[in-house]
Structure 1
Amino acid sequence: MKIAVASGKGGTGKTLVSTNLFNVIQKSGFAVDLIDCDAEEPNALQFIHADLISQKSVTQNIPVIDKEACTFCGKCEAYCHYNAIVVLPKLRHIQVVEDLCHDCGACEYACPAGAISWKSKTTGTIRTYAVNNGSSLIEGRIEIGVYSSVPLIKEVMKSSHHRQLAIVDAPPGTSCPFIATVSAADFMVLVTEPTPFGLNDLKLSVEILQQLDKSFGIIVNRAGLGDHRVYDFIAKNKLLLLDEIPFDPRIAKSYSEGKLITDNMPNYHKHFLQLFSRIKKHLQYDRNSYT
């Protein structure tokens, strides 16, 4: 069972929720994984004390074109839906744009001259860290300059299949990395804030999850700031409001110091245990039960 914590925009408190939820679960004696899929800037490790136990590279195949064998017919360019091959027949020039390649193999299939071979390119690293009580932190970190984190995220999500429960820190936003993460999740926790930006991006996230037919609930972070339009949207659409985390300067101070509020503020330890109980209660229902 994978519970993904996501947000339509960065800075709403997604990592705050995922790390503290993981902390109270593993300290209750359950073996659970925390999967950091924010591959461009993973930071869960800053809050979790863990020891590195393994790491592996994630690679992608990149086409290599033999210009002596190539006839410059342009079929590889025509078959590539990602515009990763440029062919200039009159100049007898052909080039692979590696950052756009998705390793689909269409170019090799299309080439009548057999001029295409492959090389391996490292796109990221998956590191696994041991935490107390048999739990783990799994981090995906993309290589600098790699165009898309989606292949890496898919591999990171597969790394937790031996666990009965995993908390997933999803990438911010609603683009391809977000969709790659939530597609493999069983339940979504959307973290938002009571501001115009928070509401706008919450709407985008909700629309995507409804199209994907994913079960989800909403947490309003920094409750007490802004206005009530987020709550009006939740009520009007009969969405599940899982929790509110109040605006509390102590939370900001703890977070800036790399500390978990569930460790140094006992009331929040109880708060997140109650949140987990509410999530478990709704895991058996699909989205249509409350939307």
Structure 2
Amino acid sequence: MDYKIAIASGKGGTGKTTVAVSLYRMLTREFEAIVQLVDCDVEEPNDVIFFPEAEKIGEEDVLQKIPQIDVTKCTFCRACAEYCAFNAIVVLPTARFAEVNPSLCHSCGACLEACQQGAISEYDQMIGKISDFKTSIGEGVMEGRLRIGSSMQTMLIKELKKKVPSGAEITIYDAPPGTSCSVVETTVNSDYVLLVTEPTPFGLYDLKLTVELMHDLNKEFGVIVNKAGLGNDDIYHFIEENNIDLVGEIPFVDAFATTYAQGNLDEDMPQEITDAFYAIVEKLKFRILVDERDNHTQR
């Protein structure tokens, strides 16, 4: 079995990390599966906070190839700038100026192909780090952490996913919030996407955007309503009208908010929350088994 679940949300603060961490623990225990948790929210990874026993067992830099222009060889023909789809190169022939903006460069290599004078070479620039943590349950947590000032979130997420060990039976990707390119990269090869939302006007608005993205990506997805009972029923009307799979509801409980704030999602969890996650896990177990059976039949 090799099943990938992405946990996403249209906005921050809906409880996406709560769901990702809790499902990691409960799928490991209840499904008896080999589960790997991957924190793809590289600008602010925080999954490992909820594992106080976590031990870092590996860390590596992720490097990006950045072009540099040797103005002593450059003829200022502007071919490199015209080839660059990201407007990362500025060439001013009258001023004999040529420079690459690293924050805009996507390391596609087009400028090297365009330059006929051999004036462009590459150097390595660190965009972030990938860390691997051993936890007391499951296969552990992996995270990407973007270097402050870098805008290469998508590139780092792509490298992070490449480093995930092949032995995991279930991989949980904790995606960044929103609907940007980094969310697309996180969810693109997932078998199923769980969209975490809340029953508020903001939650509904951002859920609509995320549902539209899932349709564009042709992804199978379902919705978890967190903080159920806190807002209104508009979000349920949207889910029903659009025939969206309601995977589960997690009630709003003051005691759980206190537990979360203390970084504890394992002990002293209110029974209402535990029951809600058990129901979600049961639905996921059924979906995983059905999807795996269908994939096996197709092969």
* Corresponding residue for residue 38 of structure 1: 41
| Cα offset, 1:181, TM superposition | 0.3
Report matched runs for 1:49-68 at 5 Å: 49-68=53-72
Unaligned runs of 5+ in 1: 287-291
The letter for the 2-side match of 1:232 is H
* Corresponding residue for residue 219 of structure 1: 224
Question: Following the alignment from structure 1 to structure 2, what is the Cα–Cα distance between the partners of residues 70 and 155?
Answer: 33
Query: Are 1:231 and 2:236 matched, yes or no?
Result: yes
| Cα offset, 1:244, TM superposition | 0.5
Match of 1:271 among 252, 271, 276: 276
| Cα offset, 1:271, TM superposition | 3.2
Question: Following the alignment from structure 2 to structure 1, what is the Cα–Cα distance between the partners of residues 87 and 146?
Answer: 22
The letter for the 2-side match of 1:39 is V
Report matched runs for 1:13-162 at 5 Å: 13-28=15-30, 29-48=32-51, 49-133=53-137, 135-160=139-164, 161-162=166-167
The letter for the 1-side match of 2:35 is V
Unaligned runs of 5+ in 2: 293-299
Deviation per residue, 1:147-185 (Å, 9 max, x gap): 120011011122223311111110000001111101021
SS in 2 for 1:152: helix
The letter for the 2-side match of 1:47 is F
Moved more, 236-245 or 20-29: 20-29
Question: Following the alignment from structure 1 to structure 2, what is the Cα–Cα distance between the partners of residues 165 and 131?
Answer: 16
Question: Following the alignment from structure 1 to structure 2, what is the Cα–Cα distance between the partners of residues 242 and 221?
Answer: 11
Mapped contact 1:31–1:133 kept (Cα < 8 A): no
SS in 2 for 1:64: strand
Alignment: residue pair count: 285
The letter for the 2-side match of 1:61 is K
* Corresponding residue for residue 185 of structure 1: 190
* Corresponding residue for residue 289 of structure 1: none
* Corresponding residue for residue 213 of structure 2: 208
* Corresponding residue for residue 295 of structure 2: none
Deviation per residue, 1:233-272 (Å, 9 max, x gap): 0000010000001111111101110000x43226234432
Identity %: 46
The letter for the 2-side match of 1:208 is L
Q: Under a length normalisation based on structure 2, what TM-score does the superposition of the two structures give?
A: 0.92
* Corresponding residue for residue 247 of structure 1: 252
Question: Following the alignment from structure 1 to structure 2, what is the Cα–Cα distance between the partners of residues 271 and 263?
Answer: 15
Question: Following the alignment from structure 1 to structure 2, what is the Cα–Cα distance between the partners of residues 256 and 210?
Answer: 34
The letter for the 1-side match of 2:85 is H
Question: Following the alignment from structure 1 to structure 2, what is the Cα–Cα distance between the partners of residues 55 and 249?
Answer: 37
Mapped contact 1:189–1:218 kept (Cα < 8 A): yes
